[in-house]
């Protein structure tokens, strides 16, 4: 008997986590003295790599030099991550890469090889989005129907993101994760670029009007690709006649081929997820999790409430579907979102699962999912709100005023719209929210160390909200219509 795909992925995930944690616990300390193969000018060097601290020292021209990587930011004159070290001192980074701990070594190789699976997904994502969107819009048969679907989709995105933020704010006000901890705030070391809110939103609007659609395709600029494809298809419908028929059958053929290719790639998901989980669990410093435990509990609880209470209620009440059947059908996509922390990389799986396993019409999913993967991020919005309130509590000890909380809610919403569907995008956007309530952006250094883990959870919620939205929009837009043979509704599961 062959196990269903989501079970295979789940097993890969658990096995990867167990092996990664074992490597983290047993192989993460290593001290090496190096005398040969060093960068030019370096006479001798020592690398001390332990779970929560990396120290690199060397002598050059008779002078002793030292760099420390401390993800908690507690050591004086440290950097927070190895990527920061690569920027600040290439020599220190070069020496470190000669003798990292075995846990780091294993983790980095797993990231590299697991990354091949993500590359395969990235490879199919642009042609899949174009073919899927084109066959969806041309299948709708009229610009009027498209307009209705468009406003419903945007309405769903806004409502659920605001509900998520509200949940985050309420949970943080109850748990108060930043009150009474001994975390210090002198960690002005995060290197995150800051932009203003107007800049970010304007940038997104500009993205919707690509100067050159072909360069947008070459750069995988999702928003540009989506808007141009929709515009193109609307005008195909305007031309009508044989042109419309030819384009429609071309789009449907291309979509069928891309779907087959994606289905083949998805079979590799259990292995990809296994390797990515080893990478995450083997390379994370564990001590920092203790210090930030209450903050993580607040984010986790907020995400759980939104994912398991709010969204299922919407699916049940508005889409008239079983949320459990939908959750089960979308498991491969959700688990991949979890281990890759990227909604964009997961998109081919999401598109495939929703049509093949949940039986949602391609006419709706081809529009709601690609757009949702870039602008509908409930998990990210919730996380922004909780993180900024937490930092505020650390900085001022007291709760925020209602006015400040409203400012946080609105900017968190815009930041989540502006965040890309890639790992850590939410952290980068947080600068905007911090500025809105006059908190120094450097404070986010304190939550950097646990961001990857929280990113995995919020990305799954981002993808889950897109899936729930697809069923809601489908039910409302296609209600009352005679179902075409390609759009079964309410079928629950239908194979992998």
- Site residues for ligand ASP per CB under 6 A: 341-343, 377, 380, 419, 421-426, 455, 458-459, 462
As a whole number of Å, the end-to-end CA separation of the chain is: 15
Shortest gap between Cβ of 171 and ligand ASP (angstroms)? 17
Shortest gap between Cβ of 416 and ligand ASP (angstroms)? 7
Provide DSSP, 167-211. Answer: HHHHHHHHH-TTTT-------TT-------HHHHHHHHHHHTS-S
Shortest gap between Cβ of 271 and ligand ASP (angstroms)? 21
CB nearer to ligand ASP: pick between 331 and 334? 334
CB nearer to ligand ASP: pick between 140 and 434? 434
CB nearer to ligand ASP: pick between 47 and 427? 427
Phi, psi dihedral angles at 373 (to 5 degrees): -65, -20
Residue nearest ligand ASP by beta-carbon distance: 426
Shortest gap between Cβ of 453 and ligand ASP (angstroms)? 12
The closest of 381, 318, 473, 383 to 161, measured between CA atoms, is 381
The closest of 378, 457, 455 to 417, measured between CA atoms, is 378
Provide DSSP, 19-54. Answer: HHHHHHHHS--EEEEE-SSPPTTEEEEEEEEETTEE
CB nearer to ligand ASP: pick between 91 and 344? 344
The closest of 274, 282, 280 to 26, measured between CA atoms, is 282
Shortest gap between Cβ of 27 and ligand ASP (angstroms)? 28
Shortest gap between Cβ of 455 and ligand ASP (angstroms)? 5
Residue 419 structure tokens: 């965040």
Cα–Cα distance for residue pair 188/446, rounded to 1 Å: 9
CB-facing half-sphere around the CA of 267: CA atoms within 13 A: 6
CB nearer to ligand ASP: pick between 45 and 347? 347
CB nearer to ligand ASP: pick between 366 and 462? 462
Cα–Cα distance for residue pair 303/450, rounded to 1 Å: 16
Cα–Cα distance for residue pair 179/489, rounded to 1 Å: 49
CB nearer to ligand ASP: pick between 51 and 340? 340
What DSSP character marks residue 314?
H
Shortest gap between Cβ of 458 and ligand ASP (angstroms)? 5
Provide DSSP, 315-358. Answer: IIIII-S-HHHHHHHTHHHHHHHHHH--HHHHHHHHHHHHHHTT
Shortest gap between Cβ of 419 and ligand ASP (angstroms)? 5
CB nearer to ligand ASP: pick between 348 and 426? 426
Q: Which helix (H) or strand (E) holds 477?
A: helix 451-478
Shortest gap between Cβ of 212 and ligand ASP (angstroms)? 26
CB nearer to ligand ASP: pick between 8 and 462? 462
Cα–Cα distance for residue pair 27/49, rounded to 1 Å: 10
């Amino acid at each position: 008997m062959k196990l269903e795909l989501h079970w295979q992925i789940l097993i890969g995930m658990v096995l990867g986590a167990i092996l990664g944690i074992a490597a983290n616990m047993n192989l993460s300390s290593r001290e090496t003295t190096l005398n040969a193969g060093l960068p030019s000018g370096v006479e001798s060097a020592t690398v001390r790599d332990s779970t929560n601290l990396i120290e690199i020292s060397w002598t050059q021209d008779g002078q002793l030099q030292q760099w420390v990587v401390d993800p908690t930011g507690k050591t004086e004159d440290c950097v927070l991550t190895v990527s920061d070290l690569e920027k600040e001192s290439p020599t220190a980074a070069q020496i470190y890469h000669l003798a990292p701990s075995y846990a780091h070594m294993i983790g980095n190789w797993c990231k590299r090889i697991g990354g091949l699976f993500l590359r395969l997904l990235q490879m199919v994502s642009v042609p899949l989005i174009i073919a899927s969107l084109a066959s969806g819009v041309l299948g709708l048969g009229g610009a009027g129907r498209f307009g209705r679907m468009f406003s419903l989709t945007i309405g769903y995105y806004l409502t659920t993101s605001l509900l998520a933020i509200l949940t985050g704010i309420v949970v943080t006000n109850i748990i108060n994760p930043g009150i009474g901890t001994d975390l210090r705030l002198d960690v002005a070391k995060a290197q995150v670029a800051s932009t203003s809110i107007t800049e970010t939103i304007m940038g997104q609007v500009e993205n919707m009007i690509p100067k050159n659609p072909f360069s947008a395709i070459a750069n995988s600029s999702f928003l540009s690709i989506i808007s141009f494809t929709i515009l193109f298809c609307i005008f195909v419908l305007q031309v009508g006649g044989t042109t419309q028929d030819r384009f429609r059958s071309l789009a449907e053929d291309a979509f069928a081929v891309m779907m087959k290719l994606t289905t083949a790639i998805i079979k590799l998901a259990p292995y990809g997820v296994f390797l990515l989980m080893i990478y995450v669990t083997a390379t994370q410093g564990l001590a920092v999790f203790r210090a930030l435990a209450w903050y993580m509990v607040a984010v986790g609880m907020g995400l759980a409430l939104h994912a398991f209470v709010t969204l299922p209620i919407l699916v049940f009440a508005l889409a008239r579907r079983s949320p459990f059947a939908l959750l089960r059908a979308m498991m491969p996509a959700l688990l991949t979102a979890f281990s890759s922390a990227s909604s964009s990389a997961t998109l081919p799986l999401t598109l495939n699962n929703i049509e093949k396993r949940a039986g949602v019409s391609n006419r709706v999913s081809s529009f709601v999912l690609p757009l949702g993967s870039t602008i509908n991020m409930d998990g990210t919005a919730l996380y922004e709100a909780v993180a900024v309130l937490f930092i505020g509590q650390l900085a001022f000890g007291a709760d925020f005023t209602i006015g400040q909380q409203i400012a946080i809610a609105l900017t968190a919403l815009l930041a989540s719209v502006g965040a890309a569907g890639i790992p850590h995008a939410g952290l980068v956007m947080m600068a905007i929210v911090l500025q809105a309530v006059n908190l120094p952006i450097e404070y986010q250094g304190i939550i950097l160390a646990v961001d990857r883990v929280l990113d995995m959870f919020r990305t799954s919620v981002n993808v889950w909200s897109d899936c729930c939205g697809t069923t809601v929009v489908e039910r409302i837009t296609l209600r009352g219509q005679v179902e075409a043979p390609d759009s079964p509704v309410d079928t629950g599961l239908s194979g992998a």
